[in-house]
Amino acid sequence: MERNPLRRQLQIMRKSLFDQGYLDEQFVQLEELQDDSNPNFVEEVVTLYYRDSARLILNLEQALERKPYNFNKLDAYMHQFKGSSSSIGAKKVKAESTLFREYCKSGNGEGCMRCFQQLKKEYATLRKKLEAYFQLARQAGPMETACRPK
Amino acid sequence: MTVERIVSERKDQFPVGMRVLAVDDDPTCLLLLETLLRRCQYHVTTTSQAITALKMLRENKNKFDLVISDVHMPDMDGFKLLELVGLEMDLPVIMLSANGDTKLVMKGITHGACDYLLKPVRIEELKNIWQHVVRRKKFDRKDRNNSDSQDKPHADSGGEAAGIGNADNNVKVNKKRKDQNEDEDEDRDEDGHDNDDPSTQKKPRVVWSVELHRKFVAAVNQLGIDKAVPKRILELMNVEKLTRENVASHLQKFRLYLKRISCVANQQANMVAALGTADSSYLRMGSLNGLGNFHALAGTDQFHNAAFRSFPPSGVLGRLNTPAGLGIRGLPSPGTIPLGHVQNSGHSSNDPSKLQSFIPGNHNANILQGMPMSLELDQLQNNKGVSHIGELPVANSTSVFPVPGSLMDARITGFSNNPILGVTSNSLMLEGSSQQTALHARNLRDGVSAIGFQNGNTLSDFASIDPVSHQLRDSKADLQGQAASINCNAGQIMTRVPQEWNSSIPANGAMIQLDQCLDQNNSIFHRTMDSDSMGPLNFGDPLSIKHSEANNSAMEPSVIGKEGYLMYQSRTQGNHIPDNIGSLEDLASAMMKQDQDNGKPTYGSFGHNSYSHRTCI
C-alpha cells in the first residue's frame, strides 16, 4: 500500500478507471512505455489524442448535419476515430465507435445520431477523468517504480 | 573506420538498430508506434504523410530496412504506397490498420505486404517484425545461389544453340557469382557501408525502374529466355552505368520469379484439380499442354533443360493424361484448351463473351478469368499433382465453362498457391502445340511481359504483361481484382512478391517470361495464353508476382497493380489469404474489356520464338 497519500489516491483513481470500464489493457501498454527517458509519455499521448480527435469529432458533427447522411463518409471518419481511441485504451469511447459503425453499415441514421451523442458524452467524461488523474499524478510526484497493472 | 565499426556493430546486433520507417496520418497512433518501436530498440523515422515517406525512401534506398504503414491515409492509399515501395525499393512493408477485415488483409497481402497488423499494435508483435527483413534477405541469397547453379545447366544447354562462348562465360560468371554470394554471406562485415542492409550488395543498389526493366525484358525476349545471358542482355539494353552483374542478378531474380510462378501455377492446378471440373476438357488441355509443357520447359531456364531432357513430349502428355494427372487436373486448364479452340473458332469473338460470363458472376472467377494464363504444371515432379492452371476457359472449352464458379475457385486456389498465378494471368503462354504456337507467336508479339519471380524469395519478380499496352492496363486492373479473390484453399499458397522488382514492368513491350518454378516442385508448368481469352490479361499496372520460396506450400499471390506486374507475395507462415482479390478482379474485367476490344490474341507469349526454337533443339 502506498504510504504517500497522494500516491494512494492516484492508485485508487486509476483502479476505478479500469473497473468502471473507461480504460482497457491498451492504457497499461502506454504506461509500460513510460520510463525515465520518457517520463510523461502517457499524458503526452492522451493530450495528443484529445487534440487530434477533436478534429474528427468536428468532422463527424458536420457530416451529421447534412441530410441525407453519407454513411460511407461517416464510417470512414469513425474508423479513424476508433483507431485513435483504441490506441490510448479508451474503452467506452471505442465501444461507442464500434456501435456507430454498425449503424452506419446498416444505414440507420437515427441510430448513428443517438450513438454519436452518447459517444461525445463518454469522450468528454473520459477526458475529465484523465485530466484529474494526470493532475494528481503530477502532484504525487514521480512514481518510484514502473506502473504495473493492478 | 568508425563508420565500418558502427555498421558492423549494427549488423551484429541486428535486429537492434533495424531502421524502420513508420507512416501514419493519425498522430496519436504514430507517436505510440514510434515509442513502441524505440522500445524494441529499432531506429525509427516517422512521418504522417505517405508522400513524404516515399520521398525519403527514394532519396536513399539503403536508408531503411523496413516500412510500417497505416492503410487509411489521406494523401495516398496505404496499399498504393505499399506497391510503390515494393516495386521501387524492394523493402518489406508491414501494413497497419484498425480494420481487420479479411478482405482488407487479403488486399494487403495481395499488394505485397509482408505482414498486416491490427491496431492498437502491441509491442510483442513489433518485437518480431525484424523477421521480415531477414527472411527477405535470406531468400534473396538463397535464390541467387540457386540461380547460379541453375545457370550452369542453362549455360550448357544454351551452348547448343547459342555461342559457346556465352555459355562458357556464363558458367564462369555463375561460378564467380556464387563465390561472391558465398563470400557476401560469410563476410558481410567486411563489405562496408552496405552491410547493415540485409539485401546488401557491394555496389549501390541499382533501381530497376519501369523503363529499365522494360528494356531488360525486351532484351531477354529478343534473346530468348534460354539464351539470355547477362552479357548479351546488357549489350542489347545499352544502358550506361549498368553492369553485367546488375543484369545478371536481375536475371536470376527474374528466372526465380518465373519459377515461382510456375510453382504457384502448380499448386493452383492442384486446387483446381481438386475441384474436379471438366475432365474432358482437361484431357484436351492435357494434350495441348503436353506440348505446351514441353515448350514451357524449353522456355524456362532451369526448366527447359530438365524438361527437354527428362520430359519428352510424350511423357508430358502421358503424364497429363494419367488418371492422377487428370484427377488433379480436374479442372480444365482453360488456357490450354482454349488455344486450340480459339484458333479454330475465331474465338476472339467468343472469348469476350465467355470471359464475361465467367467474370461477372463470380468474384473469384474473375480472378482466374481475368488471367489469361493457364498454367499447366507438369505434375511432375514434385508437385502434388499436375496442376493445370486453367485460365480462362476459353472459347470452346465448354467443359470449362459449365462450372465457372468452381473453375474459378479452383483457379483461385491455384493462384493463391502459385505465384505463378499471377504470372499466369498474362504472360504465360507457352505454346505447346502448333496451334498454340500460332497463338503464342501473336501473343509474343503483343509483348508479353516478363514475369520474373523468385523462388521462395520474398523477392518480387513481376511479370509485366503487356501484350497490348492498353489491354494490359485494363487487364491489370482486372487481374488485380482477380488476384484478390483468389482464395487459397489449402492454405494458402501465398506467394509474396518480394519487392525485388523495383521497376514495374512497363506495359509495353514487356515480355513474359515464364520461368519454371523449379522450386521444390520442379514442376514444369505450361502456361498457355489463349490470346483471345486471355489476351486481356493486360495489366494496366505491372503486376509482379513474387514467389516466396519459403512458402512453397503456402503462398499467397498478391497482386500489385502496376504496369503489367502481377505480384505475389508469399507468406512464410503459410497463411491463407489469397490476396489479389482486388486486382484479379480488376484484371478479369480488364481482360474482358480487352477481349472485346481486340479480336486478336492479346498476349504474346514471351519468347514464343525462342520457345519454338527451343523445341526444335
On whether any CB of chain B is under 8 Å from the CB of A26, the answer is: yes
pLDDT at residue A17 in the model: 95
The pairing of beta strand B456-464 with beta strand B525-529: unpaired
Helix/strand/coil percentages in chain B, nearest 5: 55, 10, 35
Q: Are B27 and A33 a contacting pair at CB < 8 A?
A: no
pLDDT given for residue B83 in this prediction? 86
Percent of the residues in chain A that have a pLDDT greater than 70, as a whole number: 92
CA–CA distance from A77 to each of A56, A57, A59, A100, B6 (Å)? 7, 8, 7, 11, 45
Quote the pLDDT of residue A54.
94
User: What pLDDT score was predicted for residue B504?
Assistant: 40
What whole-number percentage of chain B has pLDDT above 90?
A: 9
Helix (H, G, I), strand (E, B) or coil at B379: coil
Q: With CB atoms and an 8 Å threshold, state whether B31 touches A45.
A: yes
| Lowest-confidence region among A105-114, B115-124, B318-327 | B318-327
Q: pTM higher than 0.95 for the full model?
A: no
> pLDDT tens, B212-233?
888 888 888 888 878 788 888 8
Cβ–Cβ < 8 Å for B117, B66: no
For residue B227, give the amino acid letter.
K
Sign of CA pseudo-dihedral B314, B421, B607, B383: negative
Structural contact between residues B479 and B545, judged by C-beta atoms closer than 8 angstroms? no
Whether A11 and chain B come into contact, CB under 8 Å, resolves to no
pLDDT at B381 exceeding the cut of 50: no
CB contact under 8 A, A79 and B98: yes
Nearest residue to A81 (alpha-carbon basis) of A110, A120, A109, A42: A120
Q: Which of B35, B72, B120 sits opposite A79 (nearest CB)?
A: B72
Q: Which chain A residues are within 8 Å of B123, Cβ to Cβ? A: 29, 32-33
A30 interfaces chain B, CB cutoff of 8 Å? yes
Interatomic CA distance for residues B410 and B461, integer angstroms:
24
CA–CA dist A4, B78 (Å, integer): 49
CA distances from B216 to B146, B224, B232, B237, B310 (A): 21, 12, 11, 6, 30
Task: Tell me how crowded residue B243 is: count the other CB atoms within 10 A of its CB.
Answer: 13
Q: Which residue of A has its CA nearest to B39?
A: A33
| CA distance, residue B73 to nearest chain A CA (Å) | 9
In chain A, what residues touch B27 (CB-CB under 8 Å)? 48, 52
Distance CA(B415)–CA(B262), nearest Å, equals 10
pLDDT in the model for residue B134 = 86
Of A38, A41, A87, the CB nearest to B28: A87
Matching residue, cell 514487356: B510
Closest alpha carbon within chain B to A79: B98
- Express each pLDDT in B492-513 by its tens digit: 433 344 444 444 444 343 343 3
CB A79 within 8 A of CB A71: no
Cα(B2)–Cα(B506) distance, integer angstroms: 42
Whether A88 has its CB under 8 Å from any CB of chain B: the answer is: yes
The Cβ of residue B164 has, within 10 Å, a number of other Cβ atoms equal to 11
Distance in angstroms (rounded) separating the CA atoms of residues B353 and A141: 75
Residues B526-554: tens digit of each pLDDT: 343 333 343 333 333 444 434 433 344 33
B306-321: b or e for each residue (b if 16 or more CB lie within 10 Å)?
A: bbbebbebeebbebbb
Min distance B122 CA to chain A CA atoms (Å):
8
Q: Which of B23, B30, B32 to mutate to test the interface with A (most CBs of A within 10 A)?
A: B32
Mean pLDDT of B244-249: 84
Which residues in B582-611 are b (16+ Cβ under 10 Å) and which e? bbbbbbbbbbbbbbbbbbebbbbbbbbbbb
Chain B CB contacts of A32 below 8 Å = 123
pLDDT in tens, B485-495: 433 343 343 33
Return the higher-pLDDT residue of B146 and B59. Answer: B59
Please give the grid coordinates belonging to residue B114: 509482408
Indicate if the pLDDT at residue B204 is higher than 80: no
Indicate whether A125 pLDDT > 70. Answer: yes
Q: Return the HEC string of B454-479.
A: CCEEEEEEEEECCCCHHHHHHHHHHH
Residues B25-34: tens digit of each pLDDT = 999 999 999 9
SS3 B532: helix
CA–CA gap between residue B356 and residue B347 (Å, rounded) = 13
Determine contact, residues B262/B513, Cβ cutoff 8 Å.
no
Peptide bond into B120 cis (omega under 30): yes
Q: Is A38 touching B (CB cutoff 8 A)? A: yes
Min CA distance, B469 vs chain A (Å)?
34
Spatial neighbors of A32 by CB under 8 A, at least 6 apart, are: A146, A147, B123
Tell me how far apart the alpha carbons of residues A105 and A120 are, in angstroms, rounded to a whole number.
20
Question: A3-28 pLDDT, tens per residue?
Answer: 688 889 999 999 999 999 999 999 99
What pLDDT band is residue B272 in, cutting at 50, 70 and 90? low
- Name the more confident of B11 and B583: B11
How far apart are alpha carbons B607 and B37 in whole angstroms? 47
Which residues of chain B have a Cβ shorter than 8 Å from any chain A Cβ?
Answer: 26-29, 31-32, 35-36, 39, 72, 97-99, 119-120, 122-123
Residue A54 contacts B, CB cutoff 8 Å:
no
Q: Comparing A89 with B185, which gets the higher pLDDT?
A: A89
Provide, as residue numbers in chain A, all residues whose Cβ is less than 8 Å from the Cβ of B97. 83
Lowest mean pLDDT among B46-50, B93-97, B364-368: B364-368
Least CB–CB distance from A86: residue in B35, B72, B120: B120
Confidence at residue B602, expressed as pLDDT on a 0 to 100 scale: 39
Residue B275: per-residue pLDDT: 58
pLDDT in tens, A22-72: 999 999 999 999 988 888 999 999 999 999 999 999 999 999 998 889 999
Calpha distance B598→B467 (Å, rounded): 11
Tell me if B120 and A45 make a contact (CB, 8 A cut-off).
no
Residue B203's pLDDT is 54
Report how far residue B117's alpha carbon sits from residue B123's, in angstroms, rounded to the nearest whole number: 11
How far from each other are the two terminal CA atoms of chain B, in whole angstroms? 55
Alpha helix stretches (DSSP H) within B334-463: 336-345, 347-361, 363-370, 404-417, 419-426, 434-447
Q: Do A84 and B72 touch (CB under 8 A)?
A: no
Whether residue A45 and residue B99 make contact (CB cut-off 8 A), yes or no, is no
Q: Which amino acid is at B98?
A: A
CB contact under 8 A, A84 and B29: yes
Average pLDDT, chain B: 55
Chain A: residue nearest B73 by CA? Answer: A80
- Yes or no: say if B582 and B272 are a contact pair by the CB < 8 Å rule: no
Dihedral angle at the C-alpha atoms of B396, B379, B371, B85, nearest 10 degrees?
A: 180
The number of angstroms, rounded, from the C-alpha of A91 to the middle of its chain's C-alpha atoms is 7
Residue range A102-125: mean pLDDT, rounded: 93
Contact across the interface for B123 and A29, Cβ inside 8 Å: yes
CA distance A66 to A54: 19
Phi, psi (degrees; rounded to nearest 5) at B278: 35, 70
pLDDT for res B147: 52
Q: Does A87 contact B35 at a Cβ distance shorter than 8 Å?
A: no
Reported as a single tens digit per residue, the pLDDT across B422-455 is: 333 333 333 334 444 444 434 444 433 333 333 3
| B23, B25, B26: best to mutate for the A interface, most A CBs within 10 A | B26
Contact B520, B397 (CB under 8 A): no
Residue B2 has a pLDDT of 53
pLDDT over 80 at B321, yes or no: no
Residue B39: HSE in the Cβ half-sphere, 13 Å Cα cutoff: 23
Are B528 and B376 in contact by the 8 Å Cβ rule? The answer is yes
Identity of the residue in A76, A82, A87 whose CB atom sits nearest the CB atom of B32: A87
Query: Which residue type is seen at B295?
Result: H
- How many Å is the Cα radius of gyration of chain B? 21
pLDDT at B209: 80
Q: Which residue has the cell 493462384?
A: B415
- A24, A29, A34, A100: best mutation site toward chain B, by most B Cβ within 10 Å? A29
Residues of chain B in contact with residue A49, where contact means CB-CB under 8 angstroms, are 28
**Interhelix angle B279-299/B301-310, nearest 10 degrees:** 110
Best-predicted range by mean pLDDT (A51-55, B147-151, B378-382, B467-471): A51-55
Contact check, Cβ <8 Å, A33/B28? no
A108 pLDDT exceeds 70? yes
Which pLDDT belongs to residue B205?
67
Alpha helices in chain A (DSSP H): 5-19, 25-33, 41-65, 71-88, 91-105, 109-140
Average pLDDT over residues B356-375: 39
Contact B531, B438 (CB under 8 A): no
Chain B interface test: which of A47, A79, A84, A87 (most B C-beta within 10 Å): A87
B122 neighbourhood in chain A, CB within 8 Å = 29
Rounded alpha-carbon distances, angstroms, from residue B72 to A83, B51, B57, B66, B329: 10, 13, 19, 19, 41
Residues of B in contact with A41 (CB under 8 A): 35
